[in-house]
Structure 1
Amino acid sequence: MTTLVVGATGATGRLLVEQLLQRGENVKAIVRTTDLLKDVVKNQDGFSEVQASILELTDAEIVEHVKDCRAVVSCLGHNLTFKGIYGQPRLLVTEATRRLCEAIQATHPEKPVKFVLMNTTGNINRDLAESVSLAQHCVLWLLRLLLPPHVDNEKAADYLRTKIGQNCEAIEWTAVRPDNLTNEAAVTEYELHPSPTRSAIFNAGKTSRINVGHFMTELVTDNEVWNKWKGQMPVIYNQENENMK
């Protein structure tokens, strides 16, 4: 079976693709520009790519791409430029999530397809009524007002929570929430929590992109890990050394 990855050429998506291939998984990537993953895939037979913008594909084309995939992973995000933050499409992640999920449902899979969404600790899991300070609520309100990508992240996760829910026969989902993203060369120990254990605004932790890729790979390939976190929005932090706390 195959895992479909969107956002595969991003800083985290590339690491996810590499780790999936190292596990012997087949990977299909939808990318706007081909050949950007050459150094990652190294001509591995298990990799294929489709040159397209996910939102420009027709419904029928997306159905064809998700057909026979046992998992779909979205590492989509907005470029940190003025155009990327304030230009169109402002709901890139949300619309891609919606269209991919609708395509999965249209294939009527025999078993639920795993859908993994890369999200952020800045987004509250409203299913759990997570405790957030008044000051953080105020900052989040400003982020919603000033930064469209933050709203996009919230709406994408809300789509999975409210539209797909916990009892969809075609899709099971997880929204992975890393904190402040860093670049590291190797996978290190990391912690997983159902909700943030620190303020994403005033006391942010660190999460390496390669650890995010590792956890998402675990979700795709290890059913025990998947069954523990499906239908949830796990938070991932790099594990801190005791003398650093």
Structure 2
Amino acid sequence: MTILVTGGTGATGRLLIRQLLEREHTVLAVVRSAERLEDEIRNHPKLITIESPILDMEDSEMAGYLKDCDGAASCLGHNLTIRGIFGPPRKLVRDAAVKVCRSASSRDSGLPFKFVLMNTTANLNRNLNEERTFGESLVISLMRLLVPPQSDNEEAAEYFRKEIGNDNKSIEWVAVRPDTLIDEPDPGDYDLSASPVRSPVFNPGRTSRINVAHFIAELLTREDLWEEWKGQMPVIYNRDK
């Protein structure tokens, strides 16, 4: 398979690239600077780096890259700096997803294009009528107001849920929702559920970035797992030891 990865130099994106390369798939990584990748990854024969801010790319250029791609994964996020959180582009995650999907729609492979969006448990899957307590709603509303990346993540997922939908013949999607992200060296056991089983605000779980990368790689490369979760927003937690 050939997979496009956006946010490839981020904390989770670089782990996803490694996971895909270890499975011997070809990876097209859209990055601002390939120098931020480890040497063994940057020089891997199955890695193609595209050094460009993704929102600066013309749709025709993106369509050219996607012509032979089977799917894409977005690990994009906002840098945790004042400029990264409050400065432009304020809708980086949503706008990048729209650009990739718009360009992927012109493919002529005969098979649906798979897109995995890394999202968050702080976002609801409104297809399942998930609800929040009053306290959770208050905190999330404040986050939406004071921390712009929250609304960006919400709008990205809503784009897939409402605009792409579950009956699209060209594009299929999954939005993966980890809880509090932590760093661990190796993949471990993790649990998946259709909706959060604990409060992301008052009783958050933990999810290692390497487990998120592992699950996304499995989704994109295992047809049985894709069929199980496509059109959904699975929640992933590290399994309690």
Match of 1:8 in 2: 8
The one-letter code of the counterpart of 1:41 is: I
* Offset at residue 43 of structure 1 (A): 2.2
Q: 1:175 corresponds to which letter in structure 2?
A: A
Count matched residues: 241
Verify: 1:231 aligned to 2:231, yes or no: yes
- Cα distance 1:108–1:163, how it changes in 2: closer, same or farther (>3 A)? farther
Equivalent residues in 2 for 1:10-25, closer than 5 Å? 10-25=10-25
Aligned to 2:78: 78
Gaps of 5+ in 1: none
Query: SS of the counterpart of 1:204?
Result: coil
Structure-2-length-normalised TM-score: 0.98
Name 1:57's counterpart in structure 2.
Answer: 57
1:5 corresponds to which letter in structure 2? Answer: V
Secondary structure, counterpart of 1:115 in structure 2: strand
- The alignment partner of 2:28 has SS state of strand
**Shift of residue 42, structure 1, vs aligned partner:** 5.6
- In 1: Cα distance, 2:140 partner to 2:17 partner: 32
- Specify the alignment match of 2:240 in structure 1: 240
* Corresponding position: 1:44 with 2:44: yes
Report sequence identity in percent.
Answer: 49
The Cα of 1:38 is off from its aligned counterpart by 3.2
Cα distance change on mapping 1:9 and 1:42 into 2, 3 Å: closer
2:179 alignment counterpart: 179
Deviates more, 1:10-19 or 1:102-111: 102-111
Alpha-carbon distance between aligned partners in 1 of 2:108 and 2:138, rounded to the nearest angstrom: 43
Q: Aligned AA for 1:207?
A: T
Matched ranges for 1:153-232 at <5 A: 153-232=153-232
Counterpart amino acid of 1:57? M
Pairwise CA distance, 1:40:
4.8
* Root mean square deviation, CA, Å: 0.9
CA distance in 2, matches of 1:126, 1:172: 18
Q: Which residue of 2 aligns with 1:139?
A: 139
Q: Deviations over 1:142-166 (max 9, x none)?
A: 1111111000000000000000000
The AA in structure 2 aligned to 1:235 is: V
AA at the equivalent of 1:169: K
Q: Given that residues 28 and 48 in structure 2 are in contact (C-alpha distance below 8 angstroms), is that contact kept between their aligned partners in structure 1?
A: yes
How far is the alpha carbon of 1:32 from its aligned partner? Answer: 0.7
> CA–CA distance in 2 between the matches of 1:14 and 1:22?
12
Q: What SS does the corresponding residue of 2:213 show, helix, strand or coil?
A: helix
Aligned partners of 2:42, 2:106: CA distance in 1, in Å? 33
Distance 1:137 1:35 in 2: 41
Which stretch of the first structure deviates more once superposed, 131-140 or 144-153?
A: 131-140
| 1:81–1:223 Cα change, 3 Å | same
Shift of 1:128: 0.5
CA distance in 2, matches of 1:105, 1:43: 31
- Once the two structures are superposed, residues 201-229 of structure 1 have per-residue CA deviations (whole angstroms, 9 ceiling, x without a partner) of 00000000000000001001101111100
8 Å contact 2:187–2:210 — kept in the other structure? Answer: yes
Show CA shifts across 1:100-132 (max 9, x none). 100000224310011000000000111101131
SS of equivalent to 1:106: coil
Distance, in Å, in 1 between the alignment partners of 2:63 and 2:137 is: 39
Q: Report what 1:68 is aligned to.
A: 68
TM-score between the two structures when normalised by the length of structure 1: 0.96
The CA deviation at 1:44 is 1.9
